[in-house]
Structure 1
Amino acid sequence: MEKLQFIVLTLVTILSIFSDQILVQSQVSLEYVRPPPRRIITTPHDRPEAHPQQVHISLVGKDHMRVSWVTTDKNAPSTVEYGKLPGKYDMSMTGEHTTYRYFFYKSGKIHHVKIGPLEPGMTYYYCCGGAEKEFSFKTPPSKFPIEFAVAGDLGQTEWTASTLLHINKTDYDVLLLPGDLSYADTQQPLWDTFGRFVEPYASRRPWMVTQGNHEVEAFPIIHAHPFVAYNSRWIMPSDESGSSSNLYYSFDVAGVHIIMLGSYTDFDANSAQYKWLQADLAKVNRQKTPWLVVLLHAPWYNTNTAHQGEGESMRTAMEHLFYNARVDIVFAGHVHSYERFTRVYNNEANPCGPVYVTIGDGGNREGLAMMFQKPSPPISLFHEASFGHGRLRIQNLTHAHWSWHRNDDQDSTVRDDVWLESLSSTAKCKGTAGDQRQFKPIGDEL
């Protein structure tokens, strides 16, 4: 009998520990069981060689769009025909193309064509390379409100499919992706399957991305150049924002200035990225763009045990720039869970610091990061280890609504949401990035 009691007690203890890890370390409802990873979806290429595949679009300047796609036919033209009516294209642009090699892999012909000028809030129909298949996209509005979908560490799994399905159920204007796209990890055909996988979504709304650690794909000596596939396939508006690298850039849309930074390129005070960021922030006019948003991959604030401290050196180098410029919100990925912090500066709550959000839960093949520190630091307001996506709806000059949506099979459940006030309109923090004299740091006064 004592032996049986001991076995029962042992089982209860194990279940208690397991339950504590699953339910207590993350703020999650008791009835919800976190999902395991799901299989990778490898989307086949079933079109003729000259037909476009992996079509995606991105913003370029205030009224242009870049259309990117791949063909296996090396003679296919880099042209885009487009217009405001289905099947009627009264405009045409020709662009550029590239290819790359990665060991024994050789890419298809990668086309990039910049089209415009385009009208805001308008639907355009287009075809690529003279093929008959028609695509369409809607340009973002020029004024508020504007809505962003945000999803990090996406991958191409069944959970990714669920995330994208939920994102697509409600209209949005631009998708923001803070790194880790395909999870190819040197297996270059997975870049092709990823491009085909996201095409139904990325061809109809602009996707603005930055790189993560899974995009590096470098080996010492034998393949020393990082980001070859990423830079060849996902060209962002670096030239237009005065950046010398595709790994960091900025753009304006409606009344929002968005900065995309590189966690895996130099960022110290002597680096090109740091100097570019300084210059970019100095140009921001908060009268015209009252909202200032930053995306990067490795989070600066993180209470998950996964990847703990990996963004610390970048935070130490650059955080004061964010604070002095009154950045409103910072999105990061890398940690495969969701977490939202209060406004923070230098590891302490500060009403003039950015809100930091980790959203590395798009659907990656590696699974979720479920272990959070206990007790949770007071600057961390909400965390949950589940797959999902976020929505940032900027309503007007002063207010925006942020919500995080958990994937619940066929449904998408709002688990966290908050109203935000722009720091450019907050009396205590008011100022413009172009006039640093208005930004007297208040951290020492608190």
Structure 2
Amino acid sequence: MSETIGQRPWMTAPETVAVFDALEAAGGADCARFVGGCVRNTLVGRPVDDLDIATTLSPERVTTALKAAGLKAVPTGVEHGTVTAVCGGKPFEITTLRRDVATDGRRAVVAFTTDWAEDARRRDFTLNALYARRDGSLLDPTGHGVADARAGRIIFVGEAEQRVREDYLRILRFFRFFAWFGSGPADAAALAACETLRGELRTLSAERVSKELLKLLAAPDPRGAVALMARTGVLGEVMPGPVDLDRFNGVVAIEEDQLFEADSVLRLAALLPDDQVGALKFAERLRLPNAERDRIAAALAQTPAFKSWMSPREIRRALYRLGAQAFRDRAKLAWARAGRTATTPQWRGMIALGEGWSAPAFPLTGEDVIAAGVPKGPLVGQVLRELEDWWIDHDFIDDKLSAVEKLKAVAQGMAY
């Protein structure tokens, strides 16, 4: 009896049925199968996010078939055989079966084929070289994909070093899939190939590396994978310079213990030293988006110092100065540095206070300062900053009259 994942709701959804009907109208029954993540995730009991389809039809025939059925066809990667169908607002990535003609570790020249086994041989890992028909029955051309997926074995298709030489990003993909799906000891042949060829990661675009790294760090518990990256020297290729594995492990443990959402950007910050200048250079080298770059730099600032015994007043002051995101990041990093001890309730309470407190609006404006007799110009901003410091020191006093009286005192004491 052949292996099956059964018919799942995502297989029988009207949008999915429409896409398969369109393809089979052009290529006959069994010309298209689900492939990759949706099959793998279903097999191991994980949620399915994206639906990828493999087909014996050429990209041109796929496009024609979709349009004939009134579906949208987007040529997202026709040169590599990929057309995206859009039905009911849902995207389906449809890729023609392929074989590699030439590879250089960064890109591949492919030719199309109608051989499912040939397509499987060019894929990275056995658990990703699985195909499912519309009825849920599985095709496992390597003969090991189903068993490897269920056992949590991340095994390259064929010879590990050859697979890596075809695309050096597969080094990071190995550790990413080990973080997400791996169980037990890592495959020795895969580790050896990754260690031998780790220097080739420098030939890849920064965007490809950073995207893969953040996907890896987003795994529920990537500590084992990151430890293997450090042991094989792969981590040093991606993050040259010192890394803080202890703090990283602490952040992951805190997220796990306290049911915080896995945060790949904070985990990346945790690996870096407390050096904002160095962090900015690293973020720029990886070409991280500006928001992620700035968040990492803010998380690694050294002042104000975070301690578990900070008073509510000190917490509010830090929140106002840093903003909610940077405050949470700084608190979690400091907590991870301190370790999981009896102070856990204090750290948890600090973060809870930060999530529940809304910073009030400073009650004075530049017009108030000018009305108090301060001439227009740089002095207005100087007075406002001094008054804001006073207001913060008085725990955001909710009394504009008191603030106005303080403004008058400051204005009278200044020589213009």
TM-score band w.r.t. shorter chain:
under 0.3
Structure with the bigger RCO (C-alpha within 8 Å, sep 6+) is: 1
Q: Which has the larger radius of gyration?
A: 2
Q: Which has the higher strand share?
A: 1
TM-score with structure 2 setting the length? 0.25
